[in-house]
A and B are shown apart, each in its own frame.
Chain A
Amino acid sequence: MSGALKIELGRRYHFAASHRLHSPHLTEEENWRVFGKCNNPYGHGHNYVLEVSLSGEVDPATGMIANLGDLDAFVEREILEDFDHKSLNEDVPAFRDKVPTTENLCIEIFHRLKTFPKAKLERIRVQETGNNSFEYAGDNLEGNRT
């Protein structure tokens, strides 16, 4: 048995948003070929599930890595207020010139959440549908998880 025990806290959040996958660098035909029905000009939507994983010391006084109230308020302010029941293309500035795929959504969400002051953000996972999910860990590469 080597290595200390590590504890992570996982919390899931839900938001609904619309998007359209379309690149201004491609022609209409190319957009349709690459993005298929996700290129529909009127957009479409998903019920996204965001999974946030945090690590840190478990405070012996509270038994917690981070107080859930603090985490929930942070995610509400940083993510849900801006994304829930919004158009990712129209309402989120980061996607004005970036295709709002769930890969890019992961990167945007990770950068917003990594400033959480009470614990270390290990990674996030975004589930776009029950069959598609994407993960992003920033610089926390697999080999660095020691």
Chain B
Amino acid sequence: MTRKIEFSASHLYHNPGFSPEENRRIFGKCNNPHGHGHNYTLEVTVAGEPDPVTGMVLDLKELKEILEREVMQRMDHRHLNYEVPELAGQIPTSENIARVIWQLLEPKITHGKLHRVRLYESPDLFADCYRNGAGGADKP
């Protein structure tokens, strides 16, 4: 089962170990010191056997609450560089945000198993996170 949520956040790409010229060359306009923002779309896929009584892998209400608590409250209308401790010291690329979201969600999902986290930064750019051996990103 897959649940989709949307959140809006700002970020910028800057590595203090690089010179200003390197930062501009590598990160381009994403290096603007005042930051910029995106409407992120997150797809969370949980796999498992449907419960014989309820017919559900995981109660959608429970998943919604987990996503609200772990993702929305942490990231929605926040600056990802400064307000999300889990991303501290990391460049907040889609790759790194997807991995952080995975790490936040995996221990909270007690029915079924987290199968894939897909984070869209824009309709044409996204990152997938999953566990090796789980069958690949596109085969939930």
Contacts and interface: CB of A to CB of B under 8 A. Distances in A.
Contact of A10 (B127, B132, B134): B127
Interface residues of B, number: 36
A63 B64 CA distance: 28
Contact of A9 (B27, B127, B130): B127
B94 A8 contact: no
Given A12-B124, A61-B18, A63-B96, A7 B129 contact: yes
A63 B92 contact: yes
Given A9-B95, A63-B91, A135-B138, A2 B133 contact: yes
Contacts of A5: 99, 102, 129-132
Nearest to B123: A12
Interface in A105-146: 122-123, 125, 135, 142, 145-146
Contacts of A64: 91, 93, 95
Interface residues of A, number: 31
B98 interface: yes
A65 B95 contact: yes
B125 A10 contact: yes
Interface in B92-125: 92-96, 98-99, 102, 106, 118, 123-125
Nearest to A142: B136
Given A12-B123, A61-B15, A69-B28, A6 B95 contact: no
B138 A123 contact: yes
Given A5-B131, A62-B13, 19 more contacts: A1-B106, A3-B134, A7-B95, A7-B99, A7-B128, A7-B129, A12-B123, A13-B124, A53-B137, A61-B91, A62-B26, A62-B27, A63-B13, A63-B92, A63-B93, A65-B95, A67-B26, A69-B28, A142-B135
Interface of A: 1-13, 53, 58, 60-65, 67-69, 122-123, 125, 135, 142, 145-146
